[in-house]
């Protein structure tokens, strides 16, 4: 098993690096800086850090005003509170004018664990991907997180980056370079393709390894940029392997699965299965228990691959 | 008004400072009264032609916006992005006809364009859109968002040691929104004394009088309790408005709110204190009567 590393710490440390290089970077948080790890930036650059208290709508508006005045704000809270708590503010103050705000949220998905439903963000990707002009990134490990944050800082316009709470296995080595809008082939294969995001990428790789022992040669794609999605990579995987399974820590509705299905329906219809949270809220429990309960483990990916191959 | 000496080393400002003339109108009260009348006529004509829009809350804030653009603000109509400009942020985005009329009278775009309000492909959208209209700072219309935005603009000015001041206009009904009070708390907490909020306190919102729909009182005390310097004025009296804005410049360590008592629909007899004209345009006959009253 690969080393497990915190994506949140990778974010926090990368922000400090960026803050040293670019005086226009400012950071906002909503009383969660110790969890989102913006505390590192706050410690290093207190004059450029604004804790907005437990007021996400206001935080988003302040970030927009800073961006409209030439600053590059990174605003952080839990994924359940942004976009959930402040969707209209993100829509009108950031997305419509296309302002240069980077929303980096943590504790996405159900792996937040024991805090339960109120803190489990299972709709955020659907909400944020619905906004014209937003770039949406879900990194698969700490190395990709650091890369994605740097790429976000090097681009102009609204970006949403979704991170999870637990430490997750590294799926890349230090030489990896994230390219915005490009899928990454994590493993070649010809019988079917699993397209995954976030912590489900390492789970998909684990499933593919098991499937190999069963004689199924499964391709694995990481799709770190959910929007704009790499349509060419999806079409290529569909045409070369003939079947697609998506895997995400999000509702089946509106996330990776929906996006991939839309691309396939338009360009290359093939059988498809969805590994995602069904139309329900999750409960309190340990992250591993919840991922098991709501169908987000290698076992379920394998089942989905078997099912999709049968439909070919 | 002289161009202030640039004490600012920010890279985003220096190149542009000398590009265009600062609009440093120091209009007299008599001149501002004439401008206000022109703006009111524009508001009636624009909404009348469009067949929709928000005349009531545009008319109530005419003196506030006139005093700012023709007396207070340092701005350059020929260079709307001038980084050191004083900012006027319209949070009550439905008063777009007033802002457009003002910007046109200042020279940001031709006055003729005003009659394209709300038409397909017009730069003058139903509510303000910062991506299309020269001089518009914020895409507004979803109420309650402007004060937060203004704090961000004010903080950026402070971080950059830029001399600009930030003025944001809110509706009183808009103050029903919780985000306004999140922002009120934050502005005091961050001590943004380069920020002035103005509340167009016309007493009415769509469903009727504020006191019946959602009581805001004690309004003055609410702002005080949130840590603001509060000034109350007659929002149609230029001298009171200008005195308040000048007084705010000397307030240190806290933001200032000017509660401007106004009359919704001010200047047109049948629109005054009539909530029907919050979001309804005058018909052709009403336009004729209104313009006659505003001669």
Is the ipTM higher than 0.85? The answer is yes
Q: Does B291 touch chain A (CB under 8 A)?
A: no
Contact B148 A62 (CB under 8 A): yes
Contact B179 A61 (CB under 8 A): yes
Q: pTM of the entire structure?
A: 0.95
Report residue A213 as tokens.
């022992």
In terms of CA atoms, which chain B residue is nearest residue A98? B131
Bridge partner residues of B171 (DSSP): B200
Closest by CA to B41, choosing from B283, B279, B294, is B294
Query: Token pair 């990368």 is at which residue?
Result: A14
Closest by CA to A295, choosing from A119, A105, A122, A114, is A122
> Which domains, and CATH codes, for chain A?
4-169 (3.40.50.970), 184-310 (3.40.50.920)
Q: What pLDDT does B24 receive?
A: 61
Interface size between A and B, measured as CB pairs under 8 A: 110
Q: What pLDDT does B26 receive?
A: 86
Q: Does A88 touch chain B (CB under 8 A)?
A: yes
- pLDDT at position B33 over 90: yes
In terms of CA atoms, which chain B residue is nearest residue A52? B186
How many CA atoms lie less than 13 Å away from B179 in the CB half-sphere? 27
- pLDDT at position B197 over 50: yes
Residues 223-282 of A with CB under 8 A from B: none
In terms of CA atoms, which chain A residue is nearest residue B183? A58
Of A64, A88, A91, the CB nearest to B149: A64
According to the 3-state scheme, what is the secondary structure of A160-225?
EEECCCCEEECCCCCCCCCCCCCCEEEECCCCEEEEECCCHHHHHHHHHHHHHHCCCCEEEEECCE
Average pLDDT over residues B187-202: 98
Bridge partner residues of B244 (DSSP): none
- pLDDT at position B21 over 70: no
Report residue A257 as tokens.
């699965």
Give the closest-approach CA distance of B251 to chain A in angstroms: 22
List of chain B residues whose C-beta atoms are within 8 Å of the C-beta of residue A50: 155, 190
CB-CB contact of B69 with B241 (8 Å): no
In a domain? residue B13: no
Give the residue ranges of DSSP H helices in chain B.
Answer: 11-14, 29-50, 55-59, 62-67, 96-106, 146-159, 178-189, 210-213, 219-225, 238-249, 284-293
In a domain? residue B182: yes
Spell out, as residue ranges, where chain A has pLDDT lower than 70. 1
In a domain? residue B20: no
Closest by CA to B138, choosing from B148, B147, B151, B129, is B129
Report residue B12 as tokens.
């985003």
In a domain? residue B100: yes
Report residue B229 as tokens.
């310097």
- pLDDT at position B3 over 80: no
| B62 to A200, A300, B226, B232, B258: CA distances (angstroms) | 57, 64, 27, 17, 15
Closest by CA to A34, choosing from A49, A21, A19, is A49
Closest by CA to A179, choosing from A130, A133, A129, A232, is A232
Contact B186 A66 (CB under 8 A): no
Q: What pLDDT does B247 receive?
A: 98
Contact A92 B155 (CB under 8 A): no
| B274 to A49, B56, B58, B279: CA distances (angstroms) | 46, 8, 13, 11
| B96 to B92, B110, B149, B198: CA distances (angstroms) | 8, 16, 17, 16
CB-CB contact of A208 with A234 (8 Å): no
DSSP H/E element including A308 = helix A298-310
List of chain B residues whose C-beta atoms are within 8 Å of the C-beta of residue A68: 130, 137-138, 149, 152-153
Contact A68 B154 (CB under 8 A): no
* CA distance linking residue B77 with residue B109, whole number of Å: 8
In a domain? residue B145: yes
In a domain? residue B16: no
- pLDDT at position B8 over 80: no
List of chain B residues whose C-beta atoms are within 8 Å of the C-beta of residue A73: 152
Q: What pLDDT does B25 receive?
A: 72
* CA distance linking residue B261 with residue B229, whole number of Å: 17
Contact A58 B130 (CB under 8 A): no
Instruction: Provide the residue range defining the domain that includes B107.
Output: 28-293
Closest by CA to A57, choosing from A27, A92, A87, A86, is A86
Which are the contacts of A49, defined by CB distance < 8 A and separation ≥ 6? Answer: A26, A27, A28, A29, A33, A38, A41, A42
| B110 to B68, B103, B113: CA distances (angstroms) | 20, 9, 6
Which are the contacts of B197, defined by CB distance < 8 A and separation ≥ 6? Answer: B147, B150, B167, B168, B169, B170, B187, B228, B255, B256, B257, B258
Q: Which of A56, A144, A231, A249 is catalytic?
A: A56
Report residue A44 as tokens.
């290093």
List of chain A residues whose C-beta atoms are within 8 Å of the C-beta of residue B156: 65-66, 69-71
* CA distance linking residue A58 with residue A80, whole number of Å: 16
- pLDDT at position B10 over 50: no
Rg, Å, chain A Cα set? 19
How far is C-alpha B122 from the chain's CA centre?
21
Phi/psi for B123 (5° steps) reads: -75, -10
Q: What pLDDT does A2 receive?
A: 87
Give the closest-approach CA distance of A152 to chain B in angstroms: 20
Contact B148 A65 (CB under 8 A): yes
Of A48, A67, A69, the CB nearest to B157: A69
CATH number, domain containing residue B246 = 3.40.50.970
Contact B179 A57 (CB under 8 A): yes
CB-CB contact of A93 with A60 (8 Å): yes
In a domain? residue B230: yes
* CA distance linking residue A74 with residue B236, whole number of Å: 41
In a domain? residue B108: yes
Contact A52 B186 (CB under 8 A): yes
CB-CB contact of B144 with A89 (8 Å): no
Summary count for chain A: helices (H), strands (E) = 12, 14
> Is residue A56 among the annotated active site residues?
yes
* CA distance linking residue B250 with residue B270, whole number of Å: 40
Which are the contacts of B252, defined by CB distance < 8 A and separation ≥ 6? Answer: B193
Q: Which strands, in side-by-side order, build the sheet including B256-261?
A: B87-90, B166-171, B195-201, B256-261, B229-234
Give the largest Cα separation in chain B, rounded.
56
Q: What pLDDT does B1 receive?
A: 35
Q: How many domains does chain B have?
A: 1
Q: What pLDDT does B16 receive?
A: 39
């Amino acid at each position: 098993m690969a080393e497990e590393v915190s994506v949140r710490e990778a974010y926090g440390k990368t922000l400090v690096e960026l803050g040293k290089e670019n005086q226009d970077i400012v950071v906002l948080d909503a009383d969660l800086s110790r969890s989102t790890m913006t505390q590192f930036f706050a410690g290093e650059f207190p004059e450029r850090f604004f804790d907005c208290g437990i007021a996400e709508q206001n935080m988003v508006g302040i970030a927009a005003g800073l961006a409209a005045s030439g600053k590059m704000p990174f605003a952080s809270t839990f994924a359940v509170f942004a976009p959930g708590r402040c969707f209209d503010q993100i829509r009108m103050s950031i997305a419509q004018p296309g302002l240069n705000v980077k929303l980096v949220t943590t504790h996405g998905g159900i792996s937040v664990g024991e805090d339960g439903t109120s803190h489990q963000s299972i709709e955020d990707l659907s909400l944020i991907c619905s906004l014209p002009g937003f770039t949406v990134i879900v990194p698969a490990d700490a190395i990709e997180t650091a890369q994605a944050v740097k790429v976000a800082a090097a681009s102009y316009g609204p970006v949403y980056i979704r991170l999870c709470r637990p430490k997750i296995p590294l799926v890349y080595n230090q030489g990896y370079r994230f390219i915005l809008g490009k899928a990454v082939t994590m493993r070649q294969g010809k019988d079917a393709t699993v397209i995954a995001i976030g912590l489900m990428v390492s789970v998909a790789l684990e499933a593919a390894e098991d499937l190999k022992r069963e004689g199924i040669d499964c391709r694995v794609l990481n799709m770190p940029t959910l929007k704009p999605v790499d349509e060419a990579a999806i079409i290529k995987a569909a045409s070369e392997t003939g079947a697609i399974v998506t895997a995400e820590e999000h509702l089946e509705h509106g996330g990776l699965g929906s996006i991939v299905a839309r691309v396939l329906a338009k360009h290359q219809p093939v059988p498809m299965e969805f590994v995602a949270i069904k139309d329900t809220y999750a409960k309190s429990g340990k992250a591993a228990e919840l991922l098991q309960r709501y169908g987000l483990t290698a076992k379920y990916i394998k089942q989905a691959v078997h099912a999709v191959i049968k439909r070919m | 008004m002289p161009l202030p000496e640039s004490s600012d080393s920010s890279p985003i400002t220096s190149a542009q400072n000398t590009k265009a003339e600062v609009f440093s109108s120091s209009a007299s009260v008599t001149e501002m009264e004439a401008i206000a009348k022109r703006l009111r006529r524009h508001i009636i004509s624009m909404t009348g032609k469009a067949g929709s829009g928000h005349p009531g809350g545009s008319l109530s804030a005419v003196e506030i916006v006139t005093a700012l653009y023709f007396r207070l603000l340092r701005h350059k109509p020929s260079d709307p992005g001038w980084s050191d400009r004083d900012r006027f942020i319209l949070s009550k985005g439905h008063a777009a006809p007033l802002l457009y009329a003002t910007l046109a009278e200042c020279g940001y775009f031709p006055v003729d364009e005003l009659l394209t309000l709300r038409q397909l492909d017009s730069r003058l959208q139903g509510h303000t859109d910062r991506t299309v209209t020269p001089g518009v700072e914020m895409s507004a219309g979803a109420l309650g968002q402007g004060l937060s935005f203004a704090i961000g603009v004010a903080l950026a000015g402070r971080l950059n040691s830029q001399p600009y001041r930030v003025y944001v206009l809110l509706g009183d009904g808009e103050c029903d929104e919780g985000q306004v009070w999140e922002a009120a708390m934050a502005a005091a907490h961050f001590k943004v004394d380069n920020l002035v909020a103005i509340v167009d306190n016309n007493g009415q919102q769509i469903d009727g009088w504020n006191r019946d729909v959602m009581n805001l009182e004690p309004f003055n005390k609410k702002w005080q309790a949130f840590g603001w310097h509060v000034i109350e004025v007659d929002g149609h009296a230029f001298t009171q408005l200008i005195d308040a804005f000048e007084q705010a410049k000397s307030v240190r360590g806290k933001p200032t709110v000017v509660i401007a008592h106004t009359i919704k629909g001010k200047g047109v007899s049948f629109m005054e204190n009539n909530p029907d004209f919050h979001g309804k345009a005058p018909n052709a006959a009403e336009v004729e009567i209104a313009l006659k009253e505003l001669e």
